[in-house]
Structure 1
Amino acid sequence: MSTIQVQIPDSLQKSLDDLAARDGISIDQFISTAIAEKLSALMTENYLIEKAKKGSREKYEAILTKVPDYRLPTV
Protein backbone atom coordinates (compact mmCIF):
# COMPACT_ATOMS: atom_id res chain seq x y z
CA MET A 1 0.00 0.00 0.00
CA SER A 2 1.26 3.49 -0.81
CA THR A 3 1.00 6.67 1.21
CA ILE A 4 0.40 10.03 -0.43
CA GLN A 5 -0.01 13.54 0.92
CA VAL A 6 -2.63 15.75 -0.69
CA GLN A 7 -3.56 19.36 -0.05
CA ILE A 8 -7.28 20.10 -0.36
CA PRO A 9 -9.37 23.18 0.39
CA ASP A 10 -10.89 23.41 3.87
CA SER A 11 -14.40 23.21 2.41
CA LEU A 12 -13.61 19.85 0.80
CA GLN A 13 -12.06 18.61 4.04
CA LYS A 14 -15.26 19.45 5.93
CA SER A 15 -17.41 17.65 3.35
CA LEU A 16 -15.01 14.71 3.36
CA ASP A 17 -15.17 14.42 7.15
CA ASP A 18 -18.97 14.63 7.16
CA LEU A 19 -19.54 12.11 4.38
CA ALA A 20 -17.04 9.58 5.71
CA ALA A 21 -18.63 9.81 9.17
CA ARG A 22 -22.11 9.46 7.68
CA ASP A 23 -21.02 6.31 5.84
CA GLY A 24 -19.26 4.98 8.94
CA ILE A 25 -15.90 4.62 7.22
CA SER A 26 -12.48 6.17 7.61
CA ILE A 27 -11.39 9.11 5.50
CA ASP A 28 -8.71 6.88 3.96
CA GLN A 29 -11.32 4.34 2.90
CA PHE A 30 -13.63 7.07 1.58
CA ILE A 31 -10.85 8.56 -0.56
CA SER A 32 -9.67 5.14 -1.79
CA THR A 33 -13.22 4.28 -2.84
CA ALA A 34 -13.69 7.65 -4.56
CA ILE A 35 -10.45 7.19 -6.50
CA ALA A 36 -11.42 3.64 -7.50
CA GLU A 37 -14.82 4.83 -8.72
CA LYS A 38 -13.28 7.63 -10.80
CA LEU A 39 -10.64 5.34 -12.31
CA SER A 40 -13.30 2.77 -13.17
CA ALA A 41 -15.44 5.40 -14.88
CA LEU A 42 -12.51 6.73 -16.91
CA MET A 43 -11.34 3.25 -17.91
CA THR A 44 -14.88 2.30 -18.93
CA GLU A 45 -15.18 5.43 -21.06
CA ASN A 46 -11.85 4.69 -22.76
CA TYR A 47 -12.89 1.06 -23.33
CA LEU A 48 -16.15 2.12 -24.96
CA ILE A 49 -14.39 4.68 -27.14
CA GLU A 50 -11.96 2.02 -28.37
CA LYS A 51 -14.81 -0.44 -29.02
CA ALA A 52 -16.73 2.22 -30.94
CA LYS A 53 -13.71 2.85 -33.17
CA LYS A 54 -13.85 -0.81 -34.23
CA GLY A 55 -17.57 -0.74 -35.02
CA SER A 56 -19.20 -0.03 -38.34
CA ARG A 57 -22.42 1.70 -39.27
CA GLU A 58 -23.25 -1.10 -41.72
CA LYS A 59 -23.05 -3.81 -39.03
CA TYR A 60 -25.14 -1.68 -36.69
CA GLU A 61 -27.87 -1.17 -39.30
CA ALA A 62 -27.80 -4.87 -40.25
CA ILE A 63 -28.46 -5.83 -36.64
CA LEU A 64 -31.24 -3.26 -36.33
CA THR A 65 -33.08 -4.82 -39.27
CA LYS A 66 -33.47 -7.99 -37.18
CA VAL A 67 -35.29 -6.14 -34.39
CA PRO A 68 -39.07 -6.33 -34.83
CA ASP A 69 -41.14 -3.16 -34.89
CA TYR A 70 -43.02 -2.73 -31.66
CA ARG A 71 -45.42 -0.06 -30.54
CA LEU A 72 -46.06 0.52 -26.86
CA PRO A 73 -49.70 0.09 -25.91
CA THR A 74 -51.52 3.31 -25.11
CA VAL A 75 -52.92 3.63 -21.64
Structure 2
Amino acid sequence: MSKSNFALRLQPSLLEEARKVADTEGVALNQFINAAVAEKLSALRTESYFRERAARANIPEALEILSRAGRNGPVIPGDEVD
Protein backbone atom coordinates (compact mmCIF):
# COMPACT_ATOMS: atom_id res chain seq x y z
CA MET A 1 0.00 0.00 0.00
CA SER A 2 1.46 3.34 -0.98
CA LYS A 3 1.24 6.28 1.35
CA SER A 4 1.06 9.96 0.63
CA ASN A 5 1.41 13.09 2.68
CA PHE A 6 -1.32 15.65 3.05
CA ALA A 7 -1.17 18.85 5.03
CA LEU A 8 -4.29 18.83 7.16
CA ARG A 9 -5.46 22.03 8.80
CA LEU A 10 -7.64 21.46 11.84
CA GLN A 11 -9.09 23.90 14.30
CA PRO A 12 -6.93 23.84 17.44
CA SER A 13 -9.80 22.58 19.61
CA LEU A 14 -10.56 19.77 17.16
CA LEU A 15 -6.91 18.78 16.95
CA GLU A 16 -6.64 18.68 20.73
CA GLU A 17 -9.71 16.46 21.04
CA ALA A 18 -8.37 14.16 18.31
CA ARG A 19 -5.06 13.89 20.16
CA LYS A 20 -6.84 13.06 23.42
CA VAL A 21 -8.95 10.34 21.81
CA ALA A 22 -5.97 8.87 19.96
CA ASP A 23 -4.02 8.80 23.20
CA THR A 24 -6.93 7.18 25.05
CA GLU A 25 -7.21 4.57 22.31
CA GLY A 26 -3.46 3.98 22.41
CA VAL A 27 -2.88 4.82 18.74
CA ALA A 28 -0.93 7.45 16.89
CA LEU A 29 -2.81 10.58 15.84
CA ASN A 30 -2.15 9.73 12.19
CA GLN A 31 -3.65 6.26 12.65
CA PHE A 32 -6.67 7.72 14.42
CA ILE A 33 -7.30 10.24 11.63
CA ASN A 34 -6.94 7.51 8.99
CA ALA A 35 -9.49 5.35 10.81
CA ALA A 36 -11.88 8.30 11.23
CA VAL A 37 -11.74 9.14 7.52
CA ALA A 38 -12.25 5.46 6.62
CA GLU A 39 -15.31 5.26 8.90
CA LYS A 40 -16.83 8.39 7.38
CA LEU A 41 -16.27 7.11 3.84
CA SER A 42 -17.85 3.79 4.77
CA ALA A 43 -20.90 5.53 6.22
CA LEU A 44 -21.33 7.66 3.10
CA ARG A 45 -20.96 4.66 0.80
CA THR A 46 -23.49 2.72 2.87
CA GLU A 47 -25.98 5.57 2.68
CA SER A 48 -25.48 5.78 -1.08
CA TYR A 49 -25.94 2.02 -1.46
CA PHE A 50 -29.25 2.04 0.41
CA ARG A 51 -30.49 5.07 -1.55
CA GLU A 52 -29.76 3.24 -4.81
CA ARG A 53 -31.48 0.09 -3.55
CA ALA A 54 -34.52 2.06 -2.37
CA ALA A 55 -34.83 3.73 -5.77
CA ARG A 56 -35.18 0.27 -7.37
CA ALA A 57 -37.67 -1.01 -4.80
CA ASN A 58 -41.11 -2.18 -5.79
CA ILE A 59 -43.11 -1.22 -2.70
CA PRO A 60 -46.46 -2.73 -3.74
CA GLU A 61 -44.79 -6.07 -4.53
CA ALA A 62 -42.90 -6.04 -1.23
CA LEU A 63 -46.10 -5.33 0.72
CA GLU A 64 -47.88 -8.13 -1.11
CA ILE A 65 -45.10 -10.58 -0.19
CA LEU A 66 -45.22 -9.47 3.44
CA SER A 67 -49.00 -9.88 3.54
CA ARG A 68 -48.53 -13.59 2.77
CA ALA A 69 -45.92 -14.13 5.48
CA GLY A 70 -46.80 -16.93 7.86
CA ARG A 71 -49.94 -18.06 6.00
CA ASN A 72 -48.52 -21.13 4.32
CA GLY A 73 -47.86 -23.48 7.19
CA PRO A 74 -47.79 -24.15 10.90
CA VAL A 75 -45.95 -21.95 13.33
CA ILE A 76 -42.36 -23.02 13.71
CA PRO A 77 -41.48 -23.86 17.35
CA GLY A 78 -39.96 -20.77 18.91
CA ASP A 79 -41.86 -18.37 16.63
CA GLU A 80 -45.02 -18.31 18.73
CA VAL A 81 -46.51 -14.92 19.61
CA ASP A 82 -46.89 -14.44 23.35
Q: TM-score w.r.t. structure 2 length?
A: 0.79
Distance 1:46 1:27 in 2: 29
Distance 1:35 1:19 in 2: 15
- Structure ID, larger Rg: 2
Percent identity, aligned pairs only? 32
Asked if residue 46 in structure 1 is aligned to residue 53 in structure 2, the reply is: no
Asked if residue 11 in structure 1 is aligned to residue 8 in structure 2, the reply is: no
Calculate the aligned-residue CA RMSD, in Å: 1.8
Aligned length: 73
Gaps of 5+ in 1: none
The one-letter amino acid of 1:40's match is S
Greater percentage in helix = 1
Q: Which residue of 2 aligns with 1:2?
A: 4
Task: Tell me the CA shift for residue 9 of structure 1.
Answer: 0.8
Deviating beyond 2 angstroms after TM superposition, the runs of 4 or more aligned structure 1 residues are 66-73
Deviates more, 1:59-68 or 1:6-15: 59-68
